Amino acid sequence: MSDTPKKFSFPKTLFSAVGAVLLLVMLVLVNVVFSMLNLRIDATKENLYSLSAGSKKILSGIKQDVTIKVFYSKDIPNMPVQLKTYASRVQDFLSEYEHAGKVKIEVFNPKPDSEEEDLAQRYGIEGIDLPSGDKLYFGLAAVAADQEEAISTLDPAREEQLEYDITRLISRVQSPKGRTIGIISGIPVMGSPQMFGQRGMQPWTFVAELRKTYKVEEVAPTSDKLDKDFDLLMIIHPKELSSNLQYAIDQHVLNGGAVLVFEDPAFTADAGGRPPQTLAMDKLFKAWGIRIDNTKLVMDFDHPTKLRNQQNQVEDNPLWISARKDSFNKDDMITAKLENVLMPMSGVIQKIPESKAEYQSLIKTGTNSMLTEMFKMRLNAQMLRQDFVASNEKYDLAVRIRDTFKTAFPEGKPKDDKKKDGQEKESLPAGHLSEGKKKATIIVVADSDLLQDDYYVSKQNFMGVNFAKIFNDNLNFVMNAAEVLTGSEDLIGIRSRGKFERPFVRVQELEKKAQAKWLSREQDLVRKAEEANLKLREFEQKKDPSQKFIISKDQEEEIRRFQEEKQRINKELKEVRRNLRSDIESLGTKLKFINIFLMPLLASVAGIFYAMYRRKKSLNVEKQS
């Protein structure tokens, strides 16, 4: 071993020092260059923090530069952490619009009695009074030339719709001419005013959302005509329609007008009433090439909804359909990005065989479904399972039809109801159309319950302010359909961009398989019980009256066999449920192992190998020097 000290080499030391300085300068220059580049990476699966293609297309086509003014009271003490975090995410996301060009972001902190507070109030952004006495401002306004639109409060519960809300604002300030929607409804979706001291009803949430983009007007089902040329006509569970209004709808379609229909054989709010003999839309449906049987409902055991029954037990009810990804048409812009739509007590749409109209299904049931009679809507899930036999057929719950339709009124406008029957029939009016001028698009949904607030929105109170949290895609479906039918298709890819909370898809698949197996065993048990009871009744009929209260050996043997069979099947049912829990627990254990142990282990092993590699490389350099 040599103890000779290493010689000091000034050139080598100088070279090393100069190299370190050059490396530092290069790092600074690289950071400066990359800071000037618009390079942004979104690592989420569905690019939740990036602008969608629809937003980029709208931004590329805007003619007037847009300024988005954000009003946020960031200096309020004791601000909830959740709100601070959300505000930070909003500002980060708004920077994506600024990077896309033609959009400028300005952030204001409206302090009490400041010019910023006055500016916020001028745009209609009112502060929220907090329990601490402070006033919180958290909203924004979009301004372009002389047009302006505002969101008075940025609701954390609407984070999934944030991009849609902002892009919609930008789009609205670019096009001052609004589109109109006429609503014909047999249920009070438009709300009602306060009368005689009685509290009025607020419009349903979907109406309030439509009003943010469109001018919405109500048309009474008893009207004789359509007063306006609506961009879209929405018809919702019409219990009755005047003949003249049906004619007006018919002519609207023949002029190429768009229609969105929600027709329901069993509206849950009217569950106690008798269903009509015929649906109000039957005549128009026939002209459009479809039909809905108002005596039938559909059960879907592939997509049941968990409900609490009268015994306070949670059960899977197949009449309340929770349509999921496999139910939606992935090739259609309306349903391509939907994940869950709740449709209680839905009917089924069928195409008339001789119809030549373009017919496209939007929402379907699974194959583990069947049609059932209307009266069974009052039965619980257990009773529904007893008579269930899968049809292996997928039924249409919502469809889109398109054609140059022919009139449902070949003889022209119906006679005025006020005229006497003996009066001569009116001649065809000058503007009457027997066949469409151009193709019209109609969307028909065999359910109207999905529009009720309770089935897609939960109302919450946050710091004294009422917020609405959307928990499924019912509203998205309605808004998507409205956007397509009124021509604004670019907004569709924005609204339903994915969920910040991901469902346990594997667990749902396991439950579906176990449920199918459980259902067959349960039906088998019920069938055997009915067979045993039938045999017991036969034995009773053969007995002598004097032996009425004596159990024969055959009866005793039958009862014993049935009890053994019942115990066996119950044991199998428990085994199915136990295996289901075991599979779910096994899946959870694997996930915990991967997240808690395997990933840190792999990172540690990689670090150790990298450290060994660096150490070995360092030793080789020392030996060479």
Domain range list for the chain: 53-159, 178-191+202-294+346-367+393-415+432-503, 507-590
Q: Residue holding tokens 């003619």?
A: 63
Q: Which pLDDT band holds residue 11 (cuts at 50, 70, 90)? A: low
The span from the CA of 278 to the CA of 269, in Å, is 19
Residue-wise pLDDT tens digits, 385-426: 877 888 999 999 999 999 999 999 998 888 764 444 444 444
Residue-wise pLDDT tens digits, 115-145: 999 999 999 998 888 877 888 899 999 999 8
CATH number of 178-191+202-294+346-367+393-415+432-503: 3.40.50
**How many other C-beta atoms can be found within 10 angstroms of the C-beta atom of residue 393?**
13
Which whole number is the average pLDDT over 37-57?
Answer: 67
Closest Cα partner for 398 from 339, 454, 478, 457?
A: 478
Of residues 567 and 186, more confidence is placed in: 186
315 DSSP β-pair partners: 307
Element (H, E) at 620: helix 599-624
Q: Residue holding tokens 């096994």?
A: 586
Query: From residue 285, how far is each of 203, 230, 290, 396, 510 by CA, in Å?
Result: 28, 20, 5, 15, 40
| 48 pLDDT higher than 60 | no
pLDDT given at position 539 = 59
Of residues 589 and 365, more confidence is placed in: 365
Q: Which pLDDT band holds residue 1 (cuts at 50, 70, 90)? A: very low
∠ CA 5-10-13, nearest 5°, is 90
| 157 pLDDT higher than 90 | no
pLDDT given at position 547 = 54
Q: Residue holding tokens 């001291």?
A: 197
Q: How many helices (H) and strands (E) does the chain have?
A: 14, 23
Contact 233, 179 (CB under 8 A): no
pLDDT given at position 175 = 73
Which whole number is the average pLDDT over 489-508?
Answer: 60
Q: Residue holding tokens 């719950």?
A: 397
Residue-wise pLDDT tens digits, 444-497: 999 999 999 999 998 776 655 566 788 899 999 999 999 889 876 677 667 655
583 DSSP β-pair partners: none
Burial of 551 (0-12, 13-18, 19+ CB in 10 A): middle
Pick the CATH number of 53-159 from 1.10.260.40, 3.40.630.10, 3.30.2010.10, 3.40.30.10: 3.40.30.10
Of residues 90 and 608, more confidence is placed in: 90
**How many other C-beta atoms can be found within 10 angstroms of the C-beta atom of residue 129?**
13
Greatest pairwise CA separation for the chain in angstroms: 130
pLDDT given at position 367 = 93
Which two three-digit tokens encode residue 399? 């469809």
| Residue 354, helix vs strand vs coil | coil
The span from the CA of 589 to the CA of 595, in Å, is 10
Q: What is the 3-state secondary structure (H, E, C) of 424-471?
A: CCCCCCCCCCCECCCCEEEEEECCCHHHCHHHCEEEEEECCEEEEEEC
Provide the percentage of residues in the chain whose pLDDT is more than 90: 36
Axis-axis angle for helices 505-542, 553-592 (nearest 10): 180
| 343 pLDDT higher than 80 | yes
pLDDT given at position 477 = 95
Contact 253, 357 (CB under 8 A): no
**How many other C-beta atoms can be found within 10 angstroms of the C-beta atom of residue 143?**
20
The span from the CA of 236 to the CA of 182, in Å, is 11
Chain Cα centroid distance, residue 11: 70
Which whole number is the average pLDDT over 563-587?
Answer: 65
Query: pLDDT averaged over the chain?
Result: 80
pLDDT given at position 424 = 47
* Buried/exposed 412-423: b ≥16 CB within 10 Å, e otherwise: ebbbeeeeeeee
The span from the CA of 582 to the CA of 272, in Å, is 43
Q: Do domains 53-159 and 178-191+202-294+346-367+393-415+432-503 have the same CATH topology?
A: no
pLDDT given at position 418 = 44
Q: Residue holding tokens 């997509």?
A: 303
**How many other C-beta atoms can be found within 10 angstroms of the C-beta atom of residue 219?**
21
Q: Which pLDDT band holds residue 272 (cuts at 50, 70, 90)? A: very low
> Of the given ranges (13-27, 166-180, 235-249), which has the lowest mean pLDDT?
13-27
pLDDT given at position 563 = 66
| 218 pLDDT higher than 50 | yes
| 183 pLDDT higher than 80 | yes
Q: What is the 3-state secondary structure (H, E, C) of 2-57?
A: CCCCCCCCHHHHHHHHHHHHHHHHHHHHHHHHHHHCCCCCCCCCCCCCCCCHHHHH
pLDDT given at position 137 = 92
pLDDT given at position 523 = 61
Q: Which pLDDT band holds residue 325 (cuts at 50, 70, 90)? A: confident
